[in-house]
Amino acid sequence: MSKAASRIAFVSSDTADAKTALESLSARYGQSSVEEAGIVVALGGDGFLLQTLRDTMGTGKKVYG
């Protein structure tokens, strides 16, 4: 696995729960920018996940929500 593929970017919607999860997961696993990461984790609702998928389309990044 390449170094970029193992980097994780956590992104969140503006909700309090999503921001709390972002802080917790970033502290535990580290945080990379979306540009540097091979994995993007979208924290929020279905609409936020769909927006994240659209934003990363064509990049080859794995997106989880």
pLDDT given for residue 4 in this prediction: 64
Number of domains in the chain: 1
Q: For 53, left (φ over 0), alpha (ψ -120 to 50), or beta?
A: alpha
Give residue 21's domain range: 13-64
pLDDT given for residue 39 in this prediction: 97
Question: 56 in a domain, yes or no?
Answer: yes
Question: 1 in a domain, yes or no?
Answer: no
Question: 59 in a domain, yes or no?
Answer: yes
pLDDT given for residue 6 in this prediction: 85
Torsion of the alpha carbons at 46, 51, 57 and 60, rounded to the nearest 10: -60
Question: 35 in a domain, yes or no?
Answer: yes
pLDDT along the chain (65 residues), means of 10: 80 98 98 97 98 97 97
Active-site positions read 46
Question: 7 in a domain, yes or no?
Answer: no
pLDDT given for residue 1 in this prediction: 59
pLDDT given for residue 27 in this prediction: 98
Question: 33 in a domain, yes or no?
Answer: yes
